[in-house]
Amino acid sequence: MQRIVSPSMLSADFGNLERDTKMIDGSAAQWLHIDVMDGVFVPNISFGFPVMKPVRRATRKVLDVHLMIVEPERYVERFVEAGADIVTVHCEAAADIRGCLRSIRRLGVRAGVSIKPATPVGVLDGVLEDADLVLLMSVEPGFGGQKYIPSSTAKIRDLRRMIDLAGTGTILEVDGGISAANAAEVFAAGADAIVAGSAVFGAENPVAEIEKLLNIR
Ligand code: DX5
Ligand code: ZN
């Protein structure tokens, strides 16, 4: 499968959100990652629907929305209305994860399930059938700019094996602490897609950095 890079808009300049979105729109990145935090599921608050609007207006690329919120089933429909192409919910946050994924699919977009670093990949057994994407967290969700947790690489390998065995074609995306220094390791372990926030927006040339992440060996 072709590699995917999904720059996290959490690290964009919110005072120039349209400019930064257009910059990513003009890059080789296929997706834009949107981190929504509610201050309850994670100890931080990011943004919600009104902030997604200018992003949606400024790009036709895939909006990859990562919900770090409690009771995500209450809000999935509004995120689809706001322009999400992929809605990812945490399995630790949803009371009925399979039901939640199915309702996302019924809304006509791709459904993702995310797991935190301490959650074993085994919880996804029997869930992959309902998931177009798994988002494996390689940092504790809540903040950009953290260090990649090294044990994530073994989890990526295990999950790759599980997905291939299940034959569901579920996309494996990894999120947190990924840069040109470790992207090769993450892809080699079996990731299809990577999220990169600070590595992209902190680079002198974000567009070139995306190119580098896509082509790294
Ligand atoms: C963390 C978010 C990540 C974050 C990634 O809670 O889910 O998407 O923005 O940022 P970096 O790439 O800086 O770790
Ligand atoms: Zn994220």
Task: Give all domains of the chain, ordered by start, each with its CATH number.
Answer: 4-215 (3.20.20.70)
Q: Give the per-residue pLDDT at 35.
A: 98
* Residue 1 confidence (pLDDT) above 90: no
Is the pLDDT at 110 greater than 90? The verdict is: yes
Among 146, 182, 213, say which to mutate for ligand 1: greatest number of ligand atoms within 8 Å of CB: 146
Q: Is 35 a catalytic residue?
A: yes
137 φ, ψ (degrees, to nearest 5): -80, 125
- Ligand 1 mutation pick, 35, 90, 115, 213, max ligand atoms within 8 A of CB: 35
Reported residue count of the chain is: 217
CB atoms within 10 A of CB 113: 26
Is 85 part of the annotated catalytic residue set? no
Question: Is ligand 1 within 6 A of the CB of residue 176?
Answer: yes
Considering every ligand atom shown, identify the ligand nearest to the alpha carbon of residue 44 and give its number.
1
Options 38, 64, 132, 175, the catalytic residue: 175
List the structure tokens of 126.
């029997």
> What gap in Å lies between CA 134 and CA 24, rounded to an integer?
23
142 C-beta closer than 6 A to ligand 1:
yes
The model's pTM: 0.98
For the cut 80, the answer to whether the pLDDT of residue 53 exceeds it is yes
pLDDT digits (tens, 9 = 90+) for 23-38: 999 999 999 999 999 9
Residues 6 or more apart whose CB falls under 8 angstroms from that of 23 comprise 206, 207
Residue 209's pLDDT is 98
Q: Where residue 93 falls among pLDDT bands split at 50, 70, 90?
A: very high
Is-contact 110 88, C-beta < 8 A?
no
Which tens digit of pLDDT belongs to each residue from 55-89?
999 999 999 999 999 999 999 999 999 999 999 99
Q: Which atom of ligand 1 is nearest to the CA of 44?
A: 6
Of 113, 53, 51, 47, the residue nearest 81 (C-alpha): 53
Which ligand has the nearest atom to the CA of 139?
1
What mean pLDDT do residues 170-197 have? 98
pLDDT of residue 94: 97
Decide: 132 and 110 in contact? Cβ < 8 Å. yes
Q: Is residue 72 within 8 Å of 60, Cβ to Cβ?
A: no
CA atoms within 13 A on the CB side of 7: 32
How do residues 132-183 score in pLDDT, each as one tens digit? 999 999 999 999 999 999 999 999 999 999 999 999 999 999 999 999 999 9
Residue that is written with structure tokens 């209450």 in the block: 74
Predicted confidence at residue 201, as pLDDT, reads 98
pLDDT of residue 40: 98
Find the angle CA(199)-CA(145)-CA(48) to the nearest 5 degrees.
Answer: 100
